[in-house]
Amino acid sequence: MSDKKITEVEKTGLSRRGFLGATAVTGATLAAGAATVGTSMMSRETLAATDKSALKAHVGPAELDEYYGVWSGGQSGEVRIVGLPSMRELMRIPVFNRCSATGWGHTNESKAILGKSAHLENGDTHHPQASMTDGRYDGRYAFIQDKANTRVARIRLDVMKCDKVTTIPHVQAIHGLHLQRVPSTKLVFACGEFIAPYPNDGKLIDKLDEAEHFTMYSALDAETMEVAWQVIVDGNLDNTSTCFSGKYAVATCYNSEMAFDLAGQMRNERDWLTIFNIPRIEEEVKAGRFITLADSKVPVLDGRKKNGKNTTFTRYVPVPKNPHGAHTSPDGKYFFANGKLSPTVTVIAIDRLDDLFNDKFADEREVVVAEPELGLGPLHTTFDGRGNAYSSLFIDSQVVKWNIEDAIRHYNGEDVNYIRQKVDVHYQPGHLKASLAETRDADGKWLVVLSKFSKDRFLPTGPLRAENDQLFDISGEEMKLVHDGPAFAEPHDIVIIRRDQIQTKRVWDRDDPFFAGALAQAKADGVNLESENKVIRDGNKVRVYMTSIAPAFGLSEFSVNEGDEVTVTVTNLDQIEDLSHGFCVVNHGVSMEISPRQTSSITFIASKPGSHYYYCTWFCHALHMEMAGRMLVRPKA
């Protein structure tokens, strides 16, 4: 923390600690924090101290990383795979975006997965999570939400492709996402962030005060990806987390005011943490005690308080105003609600929640066991598995390491210092995540801090800059910065998985469900994809089947008529690992990936008479440039 920054904060007329306590704070305060970035630099001494850690983080040429990082890609709409500790980007997985390289969003396979939302070409991914069995990664799936278009998607980790996309009904903007960790990931939970009218058909648009407004917590079946149930809540839902028994889920609410303007959303001194009792919700659903809303069959429960009385399956625990991150310690003991506008993080004992739901407490706050003051703008918290928590301080541009049990002792009146270390990050950190911290295996080796501003850390790139994903060695007493990693818009959160916990396929299985549609069509057309190259006409629909073996497509030309709807299905017969081909038709906006043993298909209109080249886009062979052919389009008579 540099002197200049303190001065900047003091200019706003507020003391540095606890200054967001009693008065209504405007967005200008957060903006003031942002204006002070770029003032703290690492000293030479600090850099020297990191040398040993930097050596540990060095992954030399041809050496493999210890961990897979699953990175959200924010408003890019994608998910990225990054190796740790090298911080090398290994793969981009298109999900809600469009991808020029793989044809995601254009191929028939991806369109079938995107389903009825295939026409929406953007996304906003924040919170990746990976499936677990008994609180440990099982390598099956990753899940990601889309705030922009209210969706949840699943990614198969064996092929690192998205295989399901579900649009969540009745709500707007899925933000928080988490999943059941124990006994295994059966349900995925998703927070509808914004409070919206229901029904939202515009009939009350001129007198919206008369409309009922709410948002919902949704649970999806992890296998079918269908929405299993939804719970209407008081206030809104921001971030979510779950316990290690499969019983409780929590979500932060920053808009208990149910306001639509900035000042209104900061009116209350306290908002709350909403707690969901999953077995009790499932009991209600099983007993048929639910409603459905006009346009869907999803069971909906009303989890709102009625006349101050709680339901059997929801509780609202007051926490300081406008909380943000919701997290769980890997020992399964505590939930954490990060203060954001309050310098505190609220610690809730999970073993008190049974009593809370059985109405044993006079005050819901009795589940709170600590509320340490950590610094300005605590957004998120992660854990090292050794009893320490690490919280990001957005406004302070710092990470604070603190001890959970000491914070509890302090809350109980003991004179102990729970803060272990504060370190500057560059700059304005959002999420941070330690290796395996979402699981029982939390190993306290590495910490990634996703900073929102990079400013002077990289060569400037015009007004739009990279974010800065920083890697810290946290295996010792002190956090040590070892790497700055530029990232394009905008990683919000990550999970870090041990490499042995994910087994990927080297080549596709020929009967993989990812391209089941193309296999079924080929079968119906009597085409053997393993050996045949064929053009089948079906009215003005033309299906072109061809193989690819480096460096040639099975067909060097095919003919169609102007205006035909052409489907090209390419099967890559190469068995060699890493030997991907591509198929691109020049001047037609048609391009796709065909990896080893994969079948890919794409449909387009042959709208231009003439001779049009198609060629391979992946550099696959010394004669890759020659891997081309021609589509001959006869003009309409």
Binding stretches for Ca ion (CB under 5 A): 254, 265, 271, 322
Of 502-531, which residues contact ligand K7E (CB under 6 A)? none
Q: Is the peptide bond before 490 cis (omega within 30 degrees of 0)?
A: yes
Between 293 and 628, name the residue whose CB sits nearer to ligand CUA. 628
With the CA atoms of 80, 83, 89 and 92 taken in that order, what torsion angle do they form, in degrees rounded to the nearest 10?
A: -30
State the nearest-atom distance from the C-beta of 583 to ligand CUA, in Å. 9
> Do residues 95 and 121 touch, judged by C-beta distance below 8 A?
no
Between 75 and 388, name the residue whose CB sits nearer to ligand K7E. 75
State the nearest-atom distance from the C-beta of 625 to ligand CUA, in Å. 8
Between 367 and 449, name the residue whose CB sits nearer to ligand K7E. 449
User: Which tokens sit at 606?
Assistant: 């042959």
Residue 620's binding partner among Ca ion, ligand CUA, ligand K7E, none (Cβ under 5 to 8 angstroms by kind) is ligand CUA
Q: Which of 74, 198, 63 is nearest to 499 (CA)?
A: 63
State the nearest-atom distance from the C-beta of 265 to Ca ion, in Å. 5
Residue 281's binding partner among Ca ion, ligand K7E, ligand CUA, none (Cβ under 5 to 8 angstroms by kind) is none
> Do residues 335 and 350 touch, judged by C-beta distance below 8 A?
yes
Q: Which of 130, 18, 115 is nearest to 498 (CA)?
A: 130
> Do residues 274 and 250 touch, judged by C-beta distance below 8 A?
yes
> Do residues 596 and 636 touch, judged by C-beta distance below 8 A?
no
* Identity at 371, one-letter amino acid code: E
Between 467 and 593, name the residue whose CB sits nearer to ligand K7E. 467
Residue 379's binding partner among ligand K7E, ligand CUA, Ca ion, none (Cβ under 5 to 8 angstroms by kind) is ligand K7E
Residue 169's binding partner among Ca ion, ligand K7E, ligand CUA, none (Cβ under 5 to 8 angstroms by kind) is none
State the nearest-atom distance from the C-beta of 371 to ligand CUA, in Å. 60
What is the Cα–Cα distance from 457 to 453, expressed in whole angstroms? Answer: 9
* Helices 3-11, 27-35: crossing angle, 10 deg rounding: 150
| String marking each residue 165-204 x if it binds ligand K7E according to CB under 6 A | ----------x-----------------------------
Q: Is the peptide bond before 183 cis (omega within 30 degrees of 0)?
A: yes
With the CA atoms of 400, 403, 409 and 411 taken in that order, what torsion angle do they form, in degrees rounded to the nearest 10?
A: 30
Tell me which residues touch ligand CUA (CB under 6 A).
550-551, 581, 616, 618-620, 624, 627
> Looking at 129, 236, 239, 435, which residue binds ligand K7E (CB under 6 A)?
239
Strand ranges inside 85-124, DSSP E: 88-94
Between 111 and 324, name the residue whose CB sits nearer to ligand K7E. 324
Between 336 and 618, name the residue whose CB sits nearer to ligand CUA. 618
Between 313 and 618, name the residue whose CB sits nearer to ligand CUA. 618
Could you give the angle at the alpha carbon of 566 between the alpha carbons of 560 and 571, nearest 5°?
110
Between 127 and 410, name the residue whose CB sits nearer to ligand K7E. 127
SS3 611: strand
Half-sphere exposure of 227 (CA within 13 A, CB side): 23
Of 103-132, which residues contact ligand K7E (CB under 6 A)? 126-127
Q: Does the protein bind ligand K7E through residue 5 (CB under 6 A)?
A: no
Q: Does the protein bind ligand K7E through residue 343 (CB under 6 A)?
A: no
> Do residues 273 and 325 touch, judged by C-beta distance below 8 A?
no
State the nearest-atom distance from the C-beta of 504 to ligand CUA, in Å. 22
What is the Cα–Cα distance from 517 to 515, expressed in whole angstroms? Answer: 5
> Do residues 305 and 234 touch, judged by C-beta distance below 8 A?
yes
Residue 322's binding partner among ligand CUA, Ca ion, ligand K7E, none (Cβ under 5 to 8 angstroms by kind) is Ca ion
User: Which tokens sit at 618?
Assistant: 């992946």
State the nearest-atom distance from the C-beta of 254 to Ca ion, in Å. 5
State the nearest-atom distance from the C-beta of 515 to ligand K7E, in Å. 33
Q: Does the protein bind ligand K7E through residue 379 (CB under 6 A)?
A: yes
Binding region for ligand K7E (CB under 6 A): 126-127, 175, 239, 324-325, 379-380, 430-431, 492-493
